[in-house]
Amino acid sequence: DVKVTQSSRYLVKRTGEKVFLECVQDMDHENMFWYRQDPGLGLRLIYFSYDVKMKEKGDIPEGYSVSREKKERFSLILESASTNQTSMYLCASSLGTGPTNNEQFFGPGTRLTVL
């Protein structure tokens, strides 16, 4: 089974702090994604990566950056946390883009609160 793990289930940070959220997948997937989940808005894509050291902006990249130095690890960085970044953050990975391998597998999520 694919396993996607995230470094923390709950995190509390203060405004202005630099925050790192880590995601690791164990199935050699090419693609990795970061979403934030807010009530009524569903999941919105922040950044994604198709390969090591590659990154692409999603729909809401402002205030975030990412790093993918190794294939299995994809980090989300909040350079200066703000209260409007309080949310649930979900990481996902997928093997490819074809009709039989485009399923995204999700991690358990990190609930981040910025005070």
Smallest gap from Cβ 110 to another protein, in A, equals 12
Q: Write out the residues near another protein by the rule CB under 8 A.
A: 4, 31, 33, 35, 40-45, 48, 50, 56, 58-59, 90, 92, 94, 96-97, 99, 102-104, 106-109
Nearer to another protein, 79 or 103 (CB): 103
Smallest gap from Cβ 115 to another protein, in A, equals 23
Nearer to another protein, 107 or 114 (CB): 107
Nearer to another protein, 97 or 113 (CB): 97
Cβ contacts of 43 within 8 Å, gap of 6 or more? 35, 36, 37, 90
Handedness of CA 38, 19, 82, 115 (dihedral sign): positive
Q: What is the largest CA-CA distance in the chain?
A: 43
Phi, psi of 16 (to 5 degrees): 95, -15
Please give the single-letter amino acid code of residue 95.
Answer: L
